[in-house]
Structure 1
Amino acid sequence: MDKELKDLINLFSKSNLTTLKYKDEEISLELGKGSTEVKENELNIPDESIPVKSIEEKRDSNSNIESQSYYKLESPLVGIFFSSPSPDSPSFVEVDKEVKKGDVLCIVEAMKMFNEVKSPMDGIVKKINFKDEDLVQFGDIIFEIEEK
């Protein structure tokens, strides 16, 4: 079995996902945990260049100020979070730093592919919810950004 395929299966087994569908030119793979019934389009992965806005606004539990409504930038795919382009490089962004629309905020590695996650707006990064090499799931809130 191909190493990349083994890595995908290992990543899936350690995740909270219950189903995963993967297809390329050579392989079509469906993985499931628990129930064996898989519904059509159960795993909807959007185009990674389109940021997804969370509907639910959560209160920052680490703060004594009133609830802030920041833009919640969700992970567009399942993978490994990286805050910089290489271990020796500085992070793309830091908390309380200004970002412009289109700035790269992080990289999510999935199946040896490095996918840039870009800012959907001008703003100030208020919270980074993951550290380097953390596993992010589709829909996890990676960044909270105060819109300018």
Structure 2
Amino acid sequence: MLTIQEINQLIEKLDQSTIEEFSYEASGAKIKLKKNTGDSKTQVVSQPVVQPQETVPQPKVETTTKPEVTTEATETKEEPQPKADYDHEIVSPMVGTFYSSPSPDKPVYVQVGDQVNEDSIVCIVEAMKLFNEIEADVNGTITEILAENGELVEYGQPLFRIKKA
């Protein structure tokens, strides 16, 4: 069975290599890593600036985003939030499944507006049948929950936003 460190090393190696997809299976455990090959492009086009006696067109700028390593083609689109709404983000320390409560019949750990302490448990991330309790790490108020219950989350993916107390 692979450890989280070994999985993180595999992700880094895949990102640095020309391999597009990697699968591993042992003792009933499966892992499949696949590079995000979406050719998303951002185009910024400026209108020509008209000056009193001459017209100077502005250049057209194209940028492409770097391919990211994802597992099982799960992708989360996030809209940037103004930094004033939060001071801290709780990110996933591993690839796994996000759970907002200890079990389906129990209430959620936190909701938007709840006060949390450094040692407050805010969610569980399950990886390879291990349930890892995630703590807030700061004192403050939950301003946003970015993951859905049962959703696959990536290493480093923001899960919560907190306004520090």
Fold shared per TM-score above 0.5: yes
The two structures have a TM-score, normalised by structure 2, of 0.53
Partners of 1:139 and 1:20 in 2: CA distance: 20
> Shift of the alpha carbon at 1:72?
1.1
Counterpart check, 1:123 vs 2:145: no
Contact 1:59-1:68 at 8 Å conserved across structures:
no
Equivalent in the alignment of 1:74: 91
Read off the aligned partner of 2:123 and give its amino acid letter: C
Partners of 1:139 and 1:132 in 2: CA distance: 17
Equivalent in the alignment of 2:154: 137
Pairs aligned (count):
104
Higher normalized strand content (fraction of residues):
2
CA change 1:67–1:147 in 2 (3 A) is closer
Higher relative contact order (CA 8 A, sep 6+): 1
> Shift of the alpha carbon at 1:31?
6.1
Unmatched runs of 5 consecutive residues or more in structure 2: 2-6, 12-19, 36-68, 70-78
Partners of 1:20 and 1:124 in 2: CA distance: 40
Read off the aligned partner of 1:105 and give its amino acid letter: V
**Runs of 4+ in structure 1 displaced over 2 angstroms?**
18-22, 29-34, 66-70
Equivalent in the alignment of 1:60: 81
Q: State percent identity of aligned pairs.
A: 33
The two structures have a TM-score, normalised by structure 1, of 0.58
Look at both structures and tell me which one has the larger radius of gyration over its CA atoms: 2
Deviations 1:118-140 (A, max 9, x none): 01011000000011100000010
